[in-house]
């Protein structure tokens, strides 16, 4: 069947005109909504229309613009963003310094030639060495967190010459084939089994079980290359391990010659009150993975970072692992600006201070609704609210959405609702969230009484 390129040109021209508009008429807004819904139904995945973690109430919500700690839908309704793109918007939405860096780089060059040396990649790599703990030195830039995990796994195998991995039950590391092998949720894994071999999953927070698995693997000759863990389980329900967990994991990995991979895709870049989540425990991983907030909420970029010793076997052949767009100049410019903003505005300290302000108030509020609430927990501004059921959490998310506060469940379950706002959120905005949540909990508690 022949394609009418004239029709494609005409349609794309209309889209470009729409993108260029600062204001839309009522008819144009309705057309955007209609075409968006049709596009998801016919060209993306109709499942998105049936399932949402946050809920459109009286109309189909189409996000259109954002700034600071808010986003606005196409009809002008403003929402306080307490989801933060699952950890993307640590410096806020469209931070001026990040936007300026990106636009300045676009004026000069967008993508690199792939052959010459590109300066921004070197500059960003130097900054990453400076902000990461211990002797982490070399880094490879990716386009996303799951790619960072994939690269870290390859590097661990290359360094150790071993094949096995241990990850945590409840852990989430991405959905590409390698990272999905580390992710533990059955609903994502089962359709693609068998995944990578020599993968074991152990309870999160239990160092004894992990050590027994390493001992068993060593005894049976299936030696483990790496243990991959999140400093706090994010998608697994905002689970904080015991204080001695990671120090023990570090000692156990050293004893067995196993690489420790820290998945800091969600906990990194100031989210938990420190630049990196593992800093709370005073230990340094062998490989550290970045993504989400690394691009300053403007551009997609991730990284995996390691020591010179572990990088040794990558050095003779730097083309063992490559990415066409990884470390491109525009994304590097965004990440450089993000690092500057995070440090200049003391966002890790802000996250700690605001978490210490907000979490106790949230605990007290949820304690009033024992028929529907289990507990609130978190560190910095990575916070979870656990409810007695998925149905209750869904109604809470729905109620908050109706009142202009965006939250979401963890993965495909609303039993735990996350609060993960930009680190720039003000205490006044946090108070508004608490006040709105109180009204919603009143309604939902009565509904399920």
Q: What is the pLDDT of residues 107-147, one digit of tens each?
A: 999 999 999 999 999 999 999 999 999 999 999 999 999 99
CA 337 – CA 98 distance, rounded (Å): 5
For the domain covering 96-344, report its CATH number: 3.40.640.10
- pTM of the entire structure? 0.95
pLDDT-derived band at 166, boundaries 50, 70, 90: very high
- Determine the Cα–Cα distance for residues 413 and 303; give it in Å rounded to an integer: 28
Q: Cβ(381)–Cβ(293) under 8 Å?
A: no
Going across the sheet that includes 413-419, the strands are: 373-379, 382-387, 413-419, 408-410
CA distance 257 to 164: 12
Question: Omega before 194 cis (within 30°)?
Answer: yes
pLDDT tier, 50 (very low <50, low <70, confident <90, very high otherwise): confident
Query: Is the pLDDT reported for residue 57 higher than 60?
Result: no
Rounded CA separation 392/441 (Å): 10
Q: Is the pLDDT of residue 54 over 70?
A: no
DSSP-assigned beta bridge partners for residue 377? 384
Q: Which two tokens stand for residue 158?
A: 């290359």
- Lookup: tokens for 333: 């410019």
DSSP characters for 255-294? HHT-EEEEE-TTTTTTTTSSSSGGGGGT---SEEEE-GGG
Q: Give tens-digit pLDDT for 226-257.
A: 999 999 999 999 999 999 999 999 999 999 99
> Which residue in 235, 229, 300 sits closest to 262, CA to CA?
229
What CATH class does 56-91+348-447 carry? alpha beta
- DSSP 8-class letter at 371: T
Would you state the pLDDT for residue 206? 98
Query: What pLDDT does 408 receive?
Result: 87
In this predicted structure, which of 44-53, 320-329, 398-407 has the lowest mean pLDDT?
Answer: 44-53
- How far from 391 is each of 39, 367, 398, 417, 443, CA to CA, in Å? 29, 19, 11, 11, 14
Q: How far apart are CA 411 and CA 416, in angstroms?
A: 10
The residues spanned by each domain of the chain are 56-91+348-447, 96-344
Mean pLDDT of 419-444: 98
Residue 221, C-beta contacts closer than 8 angstroms, at least 6 positions apart: none
Q: Give the mean pLDDT of 185-192.
A: 92
**Stretch among 31-45, 276-290, 300-314 having the lowest mean pLDDT:** 31-45
């Amino acid at each position: 069947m022949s394609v009418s390129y004239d029709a494609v040109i005409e349609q794309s021209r209309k889209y470009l005109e729409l993108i260029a508009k600062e204001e839309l008429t009522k008819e144009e807004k309705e057309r955007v909504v209609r075409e968006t819904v049709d596009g998801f139904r016919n060209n993306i995945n109709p499942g998105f229309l049936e399932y949402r973690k946050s809920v459109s109430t009286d109309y189909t919500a189409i996000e259109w613009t954002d700034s600071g700690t808010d986003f606005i839908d196409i009809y002008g309704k403003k929402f306080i963003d307490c989801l933060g793109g699952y950890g993307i918007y640590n410096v806020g939405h469209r931070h001026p310094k990040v936007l300026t860096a990106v636009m300045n780089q676009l004026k000069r060059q967008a993508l690199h030639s792939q052959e010459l040396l590109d300066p921004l990649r070197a500059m960003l790599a130097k900054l990453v060495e400076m902000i990461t703990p211990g002797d982490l030195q070399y880094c490879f830039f990716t386009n996303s967190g799951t790619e960072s995990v994939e690269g870290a796994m390859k590097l661990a195998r290359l360094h150790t010459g071993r094949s096995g991995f241990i990850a945590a039950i409840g852990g989430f590391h991405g959905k590409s084939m390698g990272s999905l092998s580390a992710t533990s949720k059955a609903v994502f894994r089962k359709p693609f089994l068998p995944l990578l071999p020599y993968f074991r999953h152990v309870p999160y927070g239990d160092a004894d079980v992990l050590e027994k698995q390493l001992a068993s693997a060593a005894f049976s000759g299936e030696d483990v290359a790496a243990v991959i863990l999140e400093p706090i389980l994010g998608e697994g329900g905002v689970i904080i391990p015991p204080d001695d967990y990671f120090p023990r994991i570090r000692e156990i990995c050293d004893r067995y010659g196993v690489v420790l991979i820290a998945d800091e895709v969600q906990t990194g870049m100031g989210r938990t009150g420190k630049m990196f989540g593992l800093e709370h425990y005073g230990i340094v991983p062998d490989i550290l993975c970045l993504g989400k907030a690394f691009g300053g909420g403007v551009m997609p970029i991730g990284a995996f970072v390691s020591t010179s010793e572990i990088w040794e076997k990558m050095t003779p052949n730097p083309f063992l692992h490559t990415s066409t767009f990884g470390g491109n100049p525009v994304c590097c410019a965004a990440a450089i600006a993000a690092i500057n903003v995070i440090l200049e505005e003391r966002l890790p300290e802000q996250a700690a201070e605001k978490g210490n302000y907000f979490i106790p108030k949230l605990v007290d509020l949820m304690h009033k609704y024992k028929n529907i609430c289990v507990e609130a927990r978190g560190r910095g501004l990575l916070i979870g609210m656990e409810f007695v059921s998925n149905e209750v959490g869904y109604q809470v998310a729905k109620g908050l959405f109706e009142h202009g506060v965006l939250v979401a469940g963890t993965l495909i379950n609303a039993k735990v609702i996350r609060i993960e706002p930009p680190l720039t959120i003000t205490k006044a905005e946090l108070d508004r969230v608490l006040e709105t949540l109180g009204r919603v909990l009143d309604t939902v508690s009565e509904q399920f009484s």
